[in-house]
Structure 1
């Protein structure tokens, strides 16, 4: 009997040590092979409305055919979706959230249907719905309560083929018809906001204060420190609606090109150079009440 107990005990110790070694190896490989990037700020926006600090949503979208940044934050009263210029702090227009959809926790733009899809943290947290950004009217909804463990999802993103929702350290992946494909955990992370990005997804983690790029299967590709006050990052949007390859590093105004050789001219190389080509992303920080715009660089 004692011999059997010793075998069980040593087996458990070996299993624990094996798990510890595996976690250490994963951490080592992550540090060696996963690049740690820098967020290079190009401009910023003051929140167009004062937040109550319980959540913010961002997405780039087309509004009547024009590329814009859609912003929404919780205010404690009826919320509005505000449409901002992509290149500098300027508000184009705003409208109320669809009737009955008072607390939107995440937004993602479907480039195929040209709708903004949303997740919510209220009593209808098992639903996702879409609205037309031009009219502000709800167009469709999906009930996910039958096969979800997300009681109060926070982030939401879509690339038009798939959509993701985040809750704490977990992300679930679904087809646009609601069919659940997978769920993945990222231990130690708090994923407040997520965005579609080219052949990947990008989220903000308010626990480690990181921007994290993950591949199609959820593997972490790269990280960068979030801008602004630690713990305040609540939403992120990757510009997927405009051709950033022809953008200057810093806009004067949309359509206004600066002198050749300046950072306001499209032909001037961005410095420092962007990671994986020119791109632009936006990070909302509820503590600072600022949207930081920029790009990732090695």
Structure 2
């Protein structure tokens, strides 16, 4: 949480130069505590696993968070029971008149399709348009990040020669960005996708800030419009065994996918992989909730 200090205290300028977040008394008086309302559009096929991945990270902060799960009305999930969806999920028509402090748009196994050929693309564009006025900050993950880059900024994706799967080293490009406060200069994160975006194309859009990238895996974390849109091309929310489960699943289906890089000890699929990104996953979600949601959202939406 931020340090609350008098507005005119000389130390304030020093602390801000050191990128330490401070809050003055005037601002503190206007911030009564209330739960944060977070909406999760879960586009992943195994929805219950994704729910656990995200809730683990969202629940590890001092903030009280109310979660709502959103499903698409124009696509029926084949891997999650209708009873589960009926009990725990809502549709956009049921929430579009509400305001949310934060939103998460997950990845989806549709990256090899053109965006316009995804059967729920029109519905998704309506939701992304709605977030501009009804959500304080939206976090987009993997294909969700590519969809946001295409919809908001016209930045397209391209197909990779082979699937990008593994644990890759990333560099922090902007240490003053609040989303990356506390990050090491280099850190590890999982990726699992068949497509990517060109770094050169991102740099043509000054409204999009490239905060972190990998020499092997490409652009990773991006922010736009003061953090109103945040795009992450990888999967910091993954558990240690998730890439192994995906690899086994794809191989059992006869798909010629590469073994995840830098993942299994000694590149032996028979050995249990380690989670080497957990701390940065918790830190990123904590930073997002604190600096981009809690500190920015109004106490009462008009």
- Indicate whether the TM-score tops 0.5: no
Q: TM-score range by the shorter chain?
A: under 0.3
Larger fraction in strand:
1
Of structures 1 and 2, the larger Rg is shown by: 1
TM-score (norm 2): 0.26
In terms of fraction of residues, the more helix-rich structure is 2
